[in-house]
Amino acid sequence: MNSGAIRSIVILTGAGISAESGLATFRGPDGLWEGHRVEDVCTPEALARDPLLVHRFYDERRAKLAEVEPNAAHDALAALDAGWAGDLLIVTQNVDDLHERAGARRLVHMHGALKSALCAACGRAAPWSGALPRGAACAGCGAPRLRPDIVFFGEMPYQMDHIYDAIEEADLFVSIGTSGAVYPAAGFVQTARDAGAWTIELNLEPSAGSALFDESRMGPATRLVPDLVRELLQ
């Protein structure tokens, strides 16, 4: 990697970066997320079938955020955000707020955010903390249809045009702590390669898409991410 030739960077982060802060990965080795089948808590059908379970599940995830802190990897990306004079976009698949709490600002939550509520009637999203009871009213349209602002399976991730535009202009694409199995994010590396970017994977172990990267660096995010940021900012 020739860091001197890099002007534009896109960084994709996944559950692996927050796991070192104590948050469970989205789908664990047993196929469950915090003891639940993903299909029971992360689909529109699940919300329609058992809204109390879905709301309670995300209330518990939201409450968990108070027990964890950003780690060295989040801090390093925030330092890159503050110190990088070129273009930068951090795209996270995570719904936690650890990037923001570390200080990152050039950030997109493509799968939604725990600390946000979405009106199923008018589409308005607004900050939310604490429990989100079923039937809570939207401050915009008044409809009692607030739901967790989470992109469920079968729904379109947020800001995809913005993300693809940034990837197609990027000189460097970095994937951190992702499985490489969830689309459309799993396809970002191919888009970056096609556009001529240098591609780097930082992960505990090779992902499903490791062969597509120019470089794969294996190890904990709390070590690998600060090392990469130092390379870029030196």
Cα→Cα distances 114→57, 130, 145, 190, 230, Å: 11, 10, 16, 29, 31
> Token match 């996270």: residue?
92
Residue 27 C-alpha from the chain's centroid: 14
| Interatomic CA distance for residues 211 and 220, integer angstroms | 19
Question: Is-contact 171 6, C-beta < 8 A?
Answer: yes
- 180 — alpha (psi -120 to 50), left (phi > 0) or beta? left
Helix 221-233 to helix 72-83 angle (10° resolution) is: 20
Active-site residue (options: 55, 99, 109, 111): 111
Is 109 among the residues known to form the active site? no
| Residues assigned a catalytic role | 111
